[in-house]
Amino acid sequence: MNGNALKSMLPLAQAGHGLKAALRWWVSELGSFVEGEGAPAPARSDLMLYLGPLGTGQALTLIDRREDTPRRYTLAAEADDLSERLAAIRGTARQAVSVTLLVDPTLCFLRTLSLPVAVLPRMRDVLAQELEAATPFRMQGVYSDWYVEGEDEGGLRVRHVILKRARLDPILAVLASAGLKAGGVGVGPSEDRAMPVDLLSGGQRPVPRLLRGLNAGDAVAMAVSAGLLLGAFGLLRAHQDATLDSLEAASFEARRAAPHRLAPPVQTLASALAAERAARPPLAVLWSDLAAALPDTAFAEGLHLGPEGAIVTLRTTDAEAALRALRAAPGIGAVVPREGEGAAGRLVVGLTPRARTDSGAAPVPLLRP
């Protein structure tokens, strides 16, 4: 594989590492929301070096916590062999030995400021300007850190902790010559009453990922998550539609297969009525049969359907010819004259339509409750 191929693969590898880091961060963030746990407590160091207050001869107290029973050493800060003594306490083991420093508050310059919440993202720069404007200290000559004590109507109550480099740099140099590297510098009269500061941090705070902005890995992870979410939603909707369709089909089949819950006599009577109604010809068919059966000398003036059958009012000049034509019609049964006015040519006739025997007639419906 030549160098050009390696160069072309380098961006892909970097993108893969960025994607893995972004996915790992998002998973850890989601896990913290689900588990409801805060950040893990910092690991306890092997050694703890305490810088006592002024007036104690700059005594240093070293606590060795590598064994079950801690050992306590009192050392002089100005001793010439301080580095050798620390190296002897550290031992010759190859594994790393962690050490933290705890500074007494009397060695530090402490002040409390009231600042608006809007300065929180750039708190370090604001405190540096305030320090150089109100005190003779300069940021290049001090170690500093800060924490928020509380919040009131005026804004945030910020505690600013400052320690001169001239007090701490000699101790850090001695630790370095003894093969020890300070993991953090706290401030407090004891470890359980220490302030939430680390003077070696310089007042810097890790900005949350959402405030720092999204990188390419975050964008890819969010795009993949959005695609998976849309796919899951589509599958859910398809499953819901299929379930509803199957439920509707099953309900329809169950209703069709359900037995009749009406009493048998009621159902029998209903079937008889429906059959009788189906046997009667429709009004249009009866009217067509009547028009086809009447001779040219007669015409129908009115048609009335009643319980006994149909009553037809005719106008004709030959009543006997009209009656014979009606009796000969195939769709008309019995013909009974009711009224007749020879002078006016008016004839009222009662008709009984014949029952239909058409095989294409609709089946007799069954009643349901």
Average pLDDT of the residues in 57-81: 84
Q: So what's the pLDDT on residue 9? A: 58
Contacts by 315-319 with C-beta closer than 8 Å and gap 24+?
Answer: 315/345, 315/346, 315/347, 316/345, 316/347, 317/345, 319/347
Q: Which of 111, 128, 124, 126 is nearest to 207 (CA)?
A: 124
Q: What's the CA gap between 143 and 337, in Å, rounded?
A: 128
| Whether residue 184 sits in one domain with residue 56 | yes
37 pLDDT tier (thresholds 50, 70, 90)? very low
* pLDDT of 111 over the 70 cut: yes
Domain boundary among 191, 207, 223: 207
> Per-residue pLDDT tens for 212-224?
555 677 778 888 8
In a domain, 261, yes or no: no
Quick check: 101 and 182 in contact, CB under 8 A? yes
Average pLDDT of the residues in 162-171: 91
* pLDDT of 245 over the 90 cut: yes
Whole-number percent of the chain with pLDDT over 90 = 17
In a domain, 314, yes or no: yes
Average pLDDT of the residues in 221-237: 91
Number of domains in the chain: 2
309 pLDDT tier (thresholds 50, 70, 90)? confident
| Whether residue 161 sits in one domain with residue 74 | yes
In a domain, 325, yes or no: yes
| Whether residue 295 sits in one domain with residue 203 | no
Q: What's the CA gap between 94 and 237, in Å, rounded?
A: 62
Structure tokens given for 368: 């349901």
> Per-residue pLDDT tens for 5-34?
545 555 666 666 666 666 665 665 555 444
| Whether residue 168 sits in one domain with residue 51 | yes
Average pLDDT of the residues in 230-244: 93
* pLDDT of 202 over the 50 cut: yes
Residue 189 has a CB neighbour count (10 Å cut-off) of 14
Average pLDDT of the residues in 156-160: 91
| Whether residue 55 sits in one domain with residue 165 | yes
| Whether residue 200 sits in one domain with residue 347 | no
Distances 232 to 31, 226, 228, 352 between C-alpha atoms, Å: 21, 10, 6, 70
| Whether residue 177 sits in one domain with residue 69 | yes
* pLDDT of 364 over the 50 cut: no
| Whether residue 179 sits in one domain with residue 309 | no
Average pLDDT of the residues in 354-362: 55
* pLDDT of 277 over the 90 cut: no
Weakest-pLDDT range from 172-186, 189-203, 258-272: 258-272
SS (H, E, C) the chain: CCHHHHHHHHHHHHHHHHHHHHHHHHHHHHHHHHHCCCCCCCCCCCEEEEECCCCCCCEEEEEECCCCCCEEEEEECCCCCHHHHHHHHHCCCCCCCEEEEEECHHHCEEEEEEECHHHHHHHHHHHHHHHHHHCCCCHHHEEEEEEEEEEECCEEEEEEEEEEHHHHHHHHHHHHHCCCEEEEEEECCCHHHCCCCCHHHCCCCCCCHHHHCCCHHHHHHHHHHHHHHHHHHHHHHHHHHHHHHHHHHHHHHHHHHCCCCCCHHHHHHHHHHHHHHHHCCCHHHHHHHHHHHCCCCEEEEEEEEECCEEEEEEEECCHHHHHHHHHHCCCEEEEEEEEEECCCCEEEEEEEECCCCCCCCCCCCCCCC
In a domain, 35, yes or no: no
Residue 80, domain CATH: 3.30.420.380
Q: Is residue 322 packed enough to be buried (19+ CB in 10 Å), middle (13-18) or exposed (0-12)?
A: buried
Q: So what's the pLDDT on residue 281? A: 65
More confident residue, 134 or 277: 134
Q: So what's the pLDDT on residue 68? A: 87
* pLDDT of 204 over the 80 cut: no
Residue 315, domain CATH: 3.30.1360
Q: So what's the pLDDT on residue 38? A: 42
Quick check: 275 and 364 in contact, CB under 8 A? yes
Whole-number percent of the chain with pLDDT over 70 = 76
Domain boundary among 207, 227, 243: 207
Q: So what's the pLDDT on residue 315? A: 85
In a domain, 249, yes or no: no
| Whether residue 292 sits in one domain with residue 179 | no
| Whether residue 288 sits in one domain with residue 176 | no
| Whether residue 201 sits in one domain with residue 56 | yes
Structural domain boundaries enclosing 179: 47-207
Q: So what's the pLDDT on residue 233? A: 94
In a domain, 264, yes or no: no
Domain boundary among 148, 178, 207: 207
